[in-house]
Amino acid sequence: MPNEALRIAVVGGGGHVGLPLSLLLADKGFAVRVIDCDGTKIEALKGGRFPFLEEGGPELLTKLLGEKTPDQLLFTTDSALVADSDVVILVVGTPVDEHMNPSLGPVHAVIEQLRPYLRDGQTVILRSTLFPGTSEKIRATLEGARLKVGVCFCPERIAQGYALRELQDLPQIISGSTPAALAAARTVFSSLTPKLVELSMTEAELAKLFTNSWRYIKFAVANQFYMIAADKGLDFYRIRDAMVQDYGRASDFPLAGFAAGPCLFKDTMQLAAYNRQNFPLGHSAMLLNETLPDFLVERAKLSYSLKGMKVGILGMAFKPDNDDKRESLAYKLRKLLLYENAVVLCTDPYIQDPGFVPLETVLASCELLFIGCPHRAYRSISLDKHQVIDCWGMVRK
């Protein structure tokens, strides 16, 4: 079947995962309906404004708006458009709740929202990261509603900000409840990447959680080694550089830094909940990663009286060269410094916040600086006149 013949609705299509995927699928010739409940985002997209930082995103949006008819690419808040789609991709957020258990409500709510518009013969592809067993539950719910709708779980594994490139480079894990559903997933994803890897739905759900937990644990190892070295008055990065130099077996040893953002923490906690909280490695990783800001503040207190002191934080996003502040530990760092009665000046080139100040103001006002996020823009500035607390190893490089 030619791509043009397949209509795809992407629900949550204005989000960090949904939007790059929607645009790439439209670029590959599918007829795509981008459905998102956030009307402001939808209006921005119609006007050609990409709502967040994404490499190549604005250019692709402009190109497609110039090329495509509304039947080929449509931005809407209206869930009813699911009715005329062959494939419905679901990619809404899947957070953990205040008890660090998965919030399954939003995913089931979106199934309820779409149910009046689903019809026999469609395929629902779940792309949000899901608590294991959720895909099967959704399949059973739809079957209980007497809908002959195939269900797939095809996890997203891109690094935020680089989705357009990575969607075409990474292998795609696919799984489906029926051979027809799997065939639909194959049609959609083989248009993006040559490598498809097939699992059962629960295996695929676990593969995604294992992937993110593994990464989160690796960051925690680096963070603990950083803290050990710092406590002993040693430079972690001198030791790390020596350790990895021309030594392949340590080549994936990460830098230290704030392991935060909307995915790694919550996916590790989802895996812990799946195993009835019997996940000591995951819990230790969480304690280490989440307390790195506390460690840095305690170290600062050894040399400075923070009360009333002007302290700067460079970078508030959760990862470099990105504008996403979701679950950023730089905010936790600010909170801890405020608790010590420091006067905290924050700056970030990508985040608009009336409480932030320009970089020049921070540099001119503060003797002590923390690197909250090592944006590339900071690498070229001279910080020789400042005391810098930098767990990321940016300043010395």
Ligand X SMILES: NC(=O)c1ccc[n+]([C@@H]2O[C@H](COP(=O)([O-])OP(=O)(O)OC[C@H]3O[C@@H](n4cnc5c(N)ncnc54)[C@H](O)[C@@H]3O)[C@@H](O)[C@H]2O)c1
Nearest-Å Rg of the Cα atoms of the chain is 23
129 binds ligand X (CB under 6 A): yes
Residues 367-386, mask of contacts with ligand X (x by CB under 6 A):
--------------------
315 binds ligand X (CB under 6 A): no
User: Least Å distance between CB 190 and ligand X?
Assistant: 20
Contact 284, 338 (CB under 8 A): no
263 binds ligand X (CB under 6 A): yes
Is the CA virtual torsion 281, 287, 292, 296 positive or negative? negative
Residue 360 neighbours by CB under 8 Å, 6+ apart: none
11 binds ligand X (CB under 6 A): yes
User: Least Å distance between CB 170 and ligand X?
Assistant: 11
User: Least Å distance between CB 106 and ligand X?
Assistant: 6
Contact 358, 308 (CB under 8 A): no
Closest to ligand X by CB, 212 vs 224, is: 212
Residues contacting ligand X: total by CB under 6 A: 25
Please report the DSSP string for 302-319 in residue order: HH---TT-EEEEE--SSS
Binders in 151-180 for ligand X, by CB under 6 A: 156, 158, 160
185 binds ligand X (CB under 6 A): no
Contact window for ligand X (CB under 6 A) among 11-19, 62-70, 227-235, 268-276: 11-19
User: Least Å distance between CB 331 and ligand X?
Assistant: 17
Residues 73-112, mask of contacts with ligand X (x by CB under 6 A):
------------------xxxx---------------x--
17 binds ligand X (CB under 6 A): yes
Contact 31, 69 (CB under 8 A): no
Residue 275 neighbours by CB under 8 Å, 6+ apart: none
Cβ-in-10-Å burial (0-12, 13-18, 19+) of 337 comes to buried
- Quick one: residue 26, left, alpha or beta (phi over 0 = left, psi -120 to 50 = alpha)? alpha
Which residues form the interface with ligand X (CB under 6 A)? 11-12, 14-18, 35-38, 41, 91-94, 110, 113, 128-129, 156, 158, 160, 262-263
